[in-house]
Amino acid sequence: MDLSDAEAIEASFADPSSFGLIFERHCDAVHRFAVRRVGRDAAGDIVAETFVRSFAIRARFDLTRDTALPWLYGIAANVIFEHYRRSALAARYSTYTFRRGTGGDPIAVADDRLVAVSLRDELISALGALSVEDRETLLLYALEDLSYKEIAAALGIPVGTVGSRMSRVRTQIRNRIPDLEWRVDRLGAEERGDDEPDA
Amino acid sequence: MNQTPDPLDDLLRWTFAYQEGPTPDERDRARRRLDAAIRREVAANQRRGWMTAAVVAVVVASTAAIWGSLSPSPVMAAMEEVAQAIEAAPIPVTGQEYVFTDATESALGVVPRDGLGRIDYPDQPLAYLLNTRRQSWFGTDGSLQLRTTVQPPEFFRPEDEAAYYAAGLDQVDRVGEIILETFPDAERHPWPTDPAQLDTWIRNAAVTGRGLDSDIEYLEVALDIVSESPAAPDLRSGTLRLIGRLDGIEVVDQTHGTKTFRVQYRLNEVHIDHRFSINSSGYLVAERVTAVDGDQTLGLPAGATTYEMTVADLQITDSLDFP
């Protein structure tokens, strides 16, 4: 029978190689997490550092949790932030990460078929205007499919704070893209081959 | 709590619809970095295992003599002297200051043969010494800034050096790199200072499931508390007094304000000598483990040092720059 994440981590205290199971199980997900934030070129180092660091601090993992993935996301988020600080890009991180044309820009992995260029650029601009904490909260929910409870565990904040951040972030983005609902609906209609919906 | 579907979430998923995993090369590089970290911990555990046997052996040999004595043991007296010196002249650290330490470390790395890939090397593990310089800034809020300089390793035989570089282990170990890391909550434990509570906490922390003698694990945990750390003066003095109560440790040198202690034993036919030094401020400032007669299975010659660490006197600084 396969060990659960918690069982593998617990076993790694006596046999450190047991932590390899955590890597094999979650490497792909952590890699996608990193690519979406720092681009393909830098993602490899982020993934490696995330697993080395999580191994070093595995005693802090809450063994009552079913999966280690939210915990790994939290560590990866810290590694990414430090990556930018190490690169003397800290001042730019809050506004540049998702902009077009920067090195290792994750926009390269956006799907042009589905998202009109103008709306995509507006969304990226709106994300860039958010604080690091607010943006990470939103992306953990929308892209990594974490629950509010899991986001709270990953970021080390109360669940209530996740809820208030999500509400604030959505409002901020809608203020910058006021017709977001209609345009998303329109994109969905194009994908389905429907006629243009009413404005 | 509101977790209803939102068109914005759909837009984000469409925009960042990236679903590919890492390439085999990317995955392999990441896995090798993790495996290197695992190997380092295994080597450290092995070192602790040597210490375990060492202390057990000395305990067995000396228990009767120590129990037969009503006066404090030399180790107990030495630790008490340092503890009193700490309490007489504590080093104050205020809220906006950092404890800066500067350490050099040489640690035995052991790579199993199957971790070397298809290179020309005998069917045996590769052993080498990985050298690092570790500079640490400990904040009173539990934060830590760590600057690690990975220096070229040392080898016991020329063929080991050739194999190390042929297998690309220098990249795995990040030789030549300076790694700056920050940890907002690095403080390991809120250790109590009451002697009985501290004794209980150390014993609890010493249960790691590695099957080692609890007294030896106890010594390892206690040494960790007084190593590079922001441990307060009362915590350090209390910890040293508890170390002084352990049997099987002997004093080998008390000159120049720093006291050096030793445990010796044989394990798997390898004669090990482990020494550690405590300065007058109660900090662990040096450690050395030696394979007195060498270790043929790892190609270690007689007198090979398998672990060595020295720490310069700590400094108090008000910034995260070099003092």
Q: What is the pLDDT of residue B58?
A: 39
Report chain B residues whose CB lies below 8 A from the CB of A80: none
Q: Which of B9, B17, B33 sits opposite A48 (nearest CB)?
A: B33
A contact test, residue of B11, B28, B32, B187 with most A CBs within 10 A: B11
Residue A51 exposed, middle or buried by CB count within 10 Å (0-12, 13-18, 19+): buried
Is the domain of A97 the same as that of A161? Answer: no
The whole-number pLDDT of residue B45 equals 63
**Residues of chain B with C-beta less than 8 angstroms from the C-beta of A184:** 7-8, 10-11
Cβ neighbours of B27 in A, within 8 Å? 27, 31
Is residue A163 located within the same domain as residue A145?
yes
Q: How far apart are CA A107 and CA B16, in angstroms?
A: 8
Tokens linked to B34: 């993790």
Give the pLDDT of residue A157.
77
Describe chain A by its helix, strand, coil percentages, rounded to 5.
70, 0, 30
Confidence of residue A85 (pLDDT cuts 50, 70, 90): very low
Q: Say what the pLDDT of residue A105 is.
A: 33
* Identity of the residue in B16, B19, B38 whose CB atom sits nearest the CB atom of A16: B38
**A93 confidence band (pLDDT: 50, 70, 90):** very low
Q: Are residues A87 and A116 in the same domain?
A: no
Are the beta carbons of A16 and B15 separated by less than 8 Å?
Answer: no
Tell me the CATH number at A98. Answer: 1.10.1740.10
* Residue A67 scores a pLDDT above 80: yes
Q: Do A1 and A98 fall into the same domain?
A: yes
Tell me, yes or no, whether A174 and A92 share the same domain. Answer: no
- Domain final residue, candidates A77, A102, A127: A102
pLDDT value at position B158? 93
Residue after which a domain boundary falls, among A86, A102, A118: A102
Q: Considering only CA atoms, which of B195, B217, B198, B197 is closest in space to residue B206? A: B217
Pair (A83, A120) in one structural domain: no
Interface residue ranges in chain B relative to chain A, Cβ cutoff 8 Å? 1-3, 6-22, 26-27, 29-31, 33-35, 37-38, 41-42, 45, 180-182, 208-211
pTM for the complete prediction?
0.51
Q: What is the percent of chain A with per-residue pLDDT over 90, rounded to a whole number? A: 13
Best mutation target among A111, A165, A171 (most B Cβ atoms within 10 Å) is A111
CA B65/CA B175 separation, integer angstroms: 48
Mean pLDDT, range A41-64, rounded to an integer: 84
Q: Which of B16, B17, B33 has the CB atom closest to A52's CB atom? A: B33
* Number of CB atoms found within 10 A of residue B28's CB: 12
In this prediction, residue A90 carries a pLDDT of 30
Give the model's confidence band at A155: pLDDT under 50 very low, under 70 low, under 90 confident, else very high: confident
CA dihedral A109, A115, A118, A120 (to 10 degrees): -50
In terms of domains, do A142 and A197 share one? yes
Q: Where among A52, A74, A102 does a domain terminate?
A: A102
Query: Hey, what are B94's tokens?
Result: 């205020």
Instruction: Name the token pair of A123.
Output: 């969304």
Domain carrying residue A59: 1-102
Please list the pLDDT of chain B residue by residue as tens digits (323 residues): 445 567 788 778 777 766 678 888 889 888 988 888 888 777 766 655 444 444 433 333 333 333 334 467 899 999 999 999 888 877 777 778 888 989 998 887 777 676 677 888 888 888 889 898 989 888 877 777 888 898 999 999 999 999 999 988 887 778 898 888 776 655 545 678 888 888 877 776 554 434 445 666 677 778 878 887 778 888 999 999 999 988 778 999 988 789 999 887 665 566 778 899 999 889 999 989 888 998 887 788 999 998 888 998 888 898 888 88
The residue of A10, A15, A136 whose CB has the most chain B CBs within 10 angstroms, and thus the best one to mutate to test that interface, is A15
| Whole-angstrom distance, CA of residue B75 vs CA of residue B244 | 5
Question: Looking at residue A151, which CATH number applies to its domain?
Answer: 1.10.10.10
Q: Which residues of chain B make contact with A85, given a CB cutoff of 8 A? A: 182
How many CB contacts within 8 angstroms connect chain A with chain B? 128
Q: Which residue has the higher pLDDT, A63 or A40?
A: A63
Tell me, yes or no, whether A117 and A199 share the same domain: yes
CB burial of residue B214 (10 Å; 0-12, 13-18, 19+): exposed
Domain count, chain A: 2
Mark whether A59 and A9 lie in a shared domain: yes
Asked if B33 and A51 come within 8 Å (Cβ–Cβ), the reply is: yes
Verify that A4 and A92 share a domain, yes or no: yes
pLDDT at A192: 55
Q: Return the number of other C-beta atoms located less than 10 Å from residue B115's C-beta.
A: 16
- Asked if A48 and B30 come within 8 Å (Cβ–Cβ), the reply is yes
Closest by alpha carbon to B242, among B91, B83, B87?
B83
- Give the pLDDT mean for A163-168: 87
Q: How far is B186 from chain A (nearest CA, A)?
A: 10
A150 lies in the same domain as A189: yes
HSE-CB at B249 with a 13 A cutoff on CA atoms is: 31
Residues A32 and A5 in one domain: yes
pLDDT given at position B63: 36
Give the model's pLDDT for residue B81. 92
When CB atoms are compared, the residue of B19, B26, B37 closest to A55 is B37
Q: Which residue has the higher pLDDT, A181 or B236?
A: B236
Chain A residue with Cα closest to B180: A86
Whether the CB-CB separation of B261 and B252 falls below 8 Å is answered with yes
Going from the C-alpha of B235 to that of each of A38, B84, B128, B154, the distances in angstroms are 43, 12, 36, 36
Interface test with A, best of B4, B9, B10, B15 (most A CBs within 10 A): B15
Q: Give B33→chain A minimum CA distance, Å.
A: 6
Which residues of chain A lie closer than 8 angstroms to B37, CB-CB? Answer: 52, 55-56
